Structure 1
Amino acid sequence: MRLRADHISLFIDGKPVLEKVSVTARPGRMLVLAGSSGSGKTTLLNVLGLLRRIDAGEVVVGEQNATKWRDRNRRRFWREHVAFIFQDYGLIEEASVEYNVTVGRRTLLGIRRGDRERVDAVLEHVLLRGRNKEQTSRLSGGEKQRVGLARAMFRQADIVLADEPTASLDRKNREMVTNFLIEEARRGATVVVATHDEDLMAAGDDLIRLDQVEVAEPAHQSPE
C-alpha cells in the first residue's frame, strides 16, 4: 500500500514544522526520514501514518485522498493496515508479553487457537521464546523493543511505521531492529522510518534528509 504526501505544510504554535514537503513511500521498500532534531522527521512520519493532521496539501493512502478522513476511517486504517514501532515502545506495561503482541487482534475469550502458534513463532524470532506470560514492565529496554517488533511481525501489516526504533539500544538489538525492517520491506510492506542512526539510514532503499531538503538513494537500492 503506497503512502504519499503532496506539498504538505504543518504549523505548530504558528511556526512552520513542514513546508510544502512531498514524499512517496512504496510497497517493498524502506523509506528513511533523516535529519537533525527539530527537522520534522517524526512529524512527517506521523502525518504519513494519519496520526497528525496537516494545514495544507494532501495525504494519499493507496489511491484514496485521506487528508480529511474522519476518525472512524483513520481507526480502520490503523487497525487493518498499519503496525507502529515507537521509540518509547508503546506497550502496556502491566500486561503480559503475549497480550502486547496480540493487542488489537484478541477476542473476548483471548487469542484464537491458530494465533497462539504464530505468537510462539514471532517471540522465538525475536529471542523471547517462552516468555509469553511475563509481565512487560519487568523487561529491559532492548527486550521491550523486541516485543514491539514481535507485535508488528504478528500483525503482518501492509505498512510499518517506526519512530527512532534503534534509539538507546545496544548493537545487538539495533541490528535485530534493522534486520526486521529490511525483512518487512522484502516481504512487500511499505516501511517508513524516522531516525538519526547512520547504520539504519544506510540500510534503507530511499533516504530523505529533511534538513537538507533533498532526496538521496543508497547505492544498493533494489529495482522498482
Structure 2
Amino acid sequence: MLVEAKDISVAIGGRPVLDGESVRCKPGIMTALVGASGSGKTTLLHCLGLLLPVDKGSILIDGNDVTKYSASERRRFWRDHAAFVLQDYGIMDEESVAFNVTLQASIIGRRISGNKEQLIQSLEQTGLIGRENELAGHLSGGEKQRLALSRAIYKDATILFVDEPTASLDSTNRHMVIKLLTDFAVRGRTVIVSTHDSEMIDACDAIHQVGSKALSH
C-alpha cells in the first residue's frame, strides 16, 4: 500500500514540529525517515500510522484521503493493515511470548489460541522458536524487539511502522532486525522506519530527510 503525507503540519504543546512535510512511502521498499534529534521523525511516523492527527495537510493510503478517519475507521485500519514496532516494543511483560505474538488466548487456562503454524513460523524467523511459553518479561531488549517483529510477521501486516528499531541493540540483534525488516519489504510490504542508525539507513531503499520537504533515493 502506498502511504503518503501531503504538506502536513503538526504542533505539539504550541510548538511547531512538522511544517509542510510531504513524503511518499511505496510498497515493496523500505523508507527511512531521518533527521537530527527533535526533527520530527517519530511525529511524522505517528502521523503516517494515524496515531497522531495532523493540523494541516493530508494523509493518503493508496490515494484515499484518511486524514479525517473516525476512531472506528482508524481501529479498522490498524486491525486490517498496520503493524507497529515502537521504541517501547508494545510488549506485555506479564504475558507469554506466544500470547504477545498472537494476542489471543482462551478463557480457560489462558491457553494460546490463533494459528499455531503461523506462530511457529514467525518465531522461527525471529530466532525465538522454543520460547513460546516463557514470560516476555524475561527477554532482553533485543529479544523484545524481535518479539514485536514476530507479531508483525504473524499478522502479515501490509504496512509496518517502525521507530528506532536498532537503538541500543548489540551487533547480532541489529543485523537480525535489519534483515527481518528488509525481508518484510521484499515480500511487497510497505516498511517505514524512523531511524538515526547509519547501518539501518544504508539498508533502506528510500531516504526522507525530515524537514527538507524532499524525498531522495
The TM-score bracket by the shorter chain reads over 0.9
Distance 1:213 1:55 in 2: 17
Secondary structure of the 2:51 match is coil
Secondary structure of the 2:199 match is helix
Aligned to 1:221: none
Aligned to 2:135: 135
Summarize the Cα distance change of 1:107–1:57 in structure 2 as closer, same or farther, 3 Å threshold. Answer: farther
1:1-224 correspondence to structure 2 within 5 Å: 1-103=1-103, 110-112=112-114, 115-217=115-217
Distance 2:178 2:65 in 1: 31
Secondary structure of the 1:207 match is strand
Structure 1 residues 82-129: Cα deviation after superposition (integer angstroms, max 9, x where no partner): 0111111111110000000011x66767423xx102211211221111
Structure 1 length-normalised TM: 0.91
1:146 is matched by which residue type in structure 2?
Answer: R
Distance 2:181 2:47 in 1: 20
Shift of 1:187: 0.3
Any conservation in 1 of the 2:97–2:131 contact (CA below 8 Å)? yes
Secondary structure of the 1:33 match is strand
Secondary structure of the 2:77 match is helix
1:200 is matched by which residue type in structure 2?
Answer: M
Distance 2:67 2:212 in 1: 26
Structure 1 residues 186-210: Cα deviation after superposition (integer angstroms, max 9, x where no partner): 1000110000000111111110122
Distance 1:117 1:208 in 2: 37
Distance 1:95 1:153 in 2: 19
Distance 2:166 2:122 in 1: 19
Summarize the Cα distance change of 1:65–1:211 in structure 2 as closer, same or farther, 3 Å threshold. Answer: closer
Structure 1 residues 131-174: Cα deviation after superposition (integer angstroms, max 9, x where no partner): 10100001111111111111111111110010001100001111
Q: What is the percentage of aligned positions where both structures have the same residue? A: 45
Any conservation in 2 of the 1:36–1:211 contact (CA below 8 Å)? no
RMSD (Å) for aligned C-alpha atoms = 1.4
Distance 1:144 1:206 in 2: 27
1:185 is matched by which residue type in structure 2?
Answer: A
Superposition misfits of 4+ residues, deviation over 4 angstroms = 105-110
Distance 2:70 2:148 in 1: 27
Consecutive unaligned residues of structure 1, counting only runs of 5 or more, are 218-224
Distance 2:127 2:54 in 1: 39
Structure 2 length-normalised TM: 0.94
Distance 1:134 1:212 in 2: 45
Distance 2:113 2:62 in 1: 30
Distance 2:76 2:122 in 1: 24
